[in-house]
């Protein structure tokens, strides 16, 4: 039934372009072929319509087609795992050819990376917006870390993380792609904020990336691990709130400025010796 929904979604895109389709595509004999299951058609208008179609419209149609492919791919990865998902199965679910699919994504790795990019980019932008460099640092971190905790303990995120862990031993590219496309950019957003606070003297000088990883672990790890291994009932909201408060408080104590300690993550002379 999901296949029918995706076909229908793409048909709606074309139907919204009805004047364009009627004026340019239909007169050139380029109708909308039916999918094998009789569902609404999936047509790559960008590749099949005549050159008279405005370039801007073709770009919109191609982007909608790409989104439909990512929807299908995400569903397959989550239901069947990375190893059991193939480009052929995704092409079949699209109702199109492997050639059309490969014109968007040259390999399964690229498709998996695009699925992760789409899932994480908007959230990174949201966290970046919460990390106000001017607002009080304690309130800012509590607000942003609470949102981060909510996202990383959501059922869909937990299911994705389980998939990564389960598949990474047999398919190392899964862990590599997840690290490059999700973990590192996410840490980078927090690190950029912390670097600004260190430069402003609100936090002691340290390696911002190390500090970001420590903050993330303090806030997210306790409840996330409990959910990953299905240890009992869902984590109560009160416990999650306490984890945020305690994690941020511990972080701010560790990175408080003007304590006369050496910078965190930087080798001191005795360590260098």
59 and 139 assigned to the same domain: no
74 and 19 assigned to the same domain: yes
118 and 98 assigned to the same domain: no
- Token digits of residue 147: 């949102």
Q: SS3 sequence, 31-88?
A: CCCCCCCCCCCCCCHHHHCCCCCCHHHHHHHHHHHHHHHHHHHHHHHHHHHHHHCCHH
Q: What is the pLDDT along the chain (273 residues), one digit of tens a residue?
A: 444 444 444 444 444 443 333 333 333 333 333 344 443 344 444 444 445 556 778 788 888 999 999 999 999 999 999 999 999 999 999 887 888 898 899 999 999 999 999 989 889 999 999 999 999 999 999 999 999 999 999 888 888 988 999 999 999 999 999 999 999 999 999 999 999 999 999 999 999 999 999 999 999 988 888 888 876 678 889 999 999 999 999 999 999 986 555 555 555 555 444
Residue 23 DSSP label:
I
Compute the C-alpha angle 217/219/221, nearest 5°.
50
Dump pLDDT digits (tens) for 181-199.
999 999 999 999 999 999 9
57 and 162 assigned to the same domain: no
The boundaries of the domain holding residue 54 are 2-102
129 and 220 assigned to the same domain: yes
Residue 266 included in any domain: no
119 and 238 assigned to the same domain: yes
Domain final position from 50, 77, 102: 102
125 and 250 assigned to the same domain: yes
Model's pTM, two decimal places?
0.71
243 and 204 assigned to the same domain: yes
123 and 175 assigned to the same domain: yes
128: nearest Cα among 114, 113, 140 = 140
Tally of domains in the chain: 2
Domain final position from 56, 76, 102: 102
Domain final position from 54, 83, 102: 102
Q: SS3 sequence, 249-272?
A: HHHHHHCCCCCCCCCECCCCHHHH
48 and 169 assigned to the same domain: no
Q: How far apart are CA 111 and CA 105, in angstroms?
A: 6
Dump pLDDT digits (tens) for 111-156.
999 999 998 988 999 999 999 999 999 999 999 999 999 999 988 8
201 and 137 assigned to the same domain: yes
CATH number for the domain spanning 194: value is 1.10.357.10
């Amino acid at each position: 039934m999901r296949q029918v929904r995706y076909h229908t979604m793409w048909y709606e895109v074309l139907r919204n372009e009805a004047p364009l389709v009627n004026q340019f595509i239909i007169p050139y004999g380029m109708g909308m072929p039916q999918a094998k299951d009789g569902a609404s058609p999936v047509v790559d208008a960008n590749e099949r319509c005549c050159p008279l179609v405005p370039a801007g419209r073709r770009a919109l149609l191609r982007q909608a087609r790409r989104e439909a492919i990512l929807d299908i791919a995400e569903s397959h990865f989550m239901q069947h795992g990375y190893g059991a998902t193939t480009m052929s199965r995704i092409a079949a679910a699209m109702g199109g050819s492997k050639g059309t699919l490969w014109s968007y994504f040259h390999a399964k790795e690229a498709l998996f990376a695009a699925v992760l990019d789409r899932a994480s980019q908007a959230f990174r932008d949201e966290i970046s917006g919460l990390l106000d460099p001017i607002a009080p640092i304690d309130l800012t971190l509590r607000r942003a870390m609470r949102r981060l905790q909510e996202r990383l303990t959501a059922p869909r995120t937990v299911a994705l993380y389980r998939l990564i862990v389960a598949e990474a031993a047999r398919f190392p590219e899964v862990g590599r792609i997840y690290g490059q496309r999700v973990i590192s950019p996410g840490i980078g957003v927090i690190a950029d904020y912390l670097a600004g606070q260190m430069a402003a003297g609100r936090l002691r000088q340290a390696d911002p990336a190390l500090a970001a990883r420590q903050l993330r672990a303090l806030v997210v790890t306790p409840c996330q691990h409990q959910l990953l291994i299905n240890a009992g009932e869902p984590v109560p909201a009160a416990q999650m709130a306490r984890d945020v408060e305690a994690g941020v408080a511990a972080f701010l104590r560790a990175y408080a400025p003007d304590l006369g300690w050496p910078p965190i993550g930087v080798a001191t002379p005795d360590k260098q010796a």
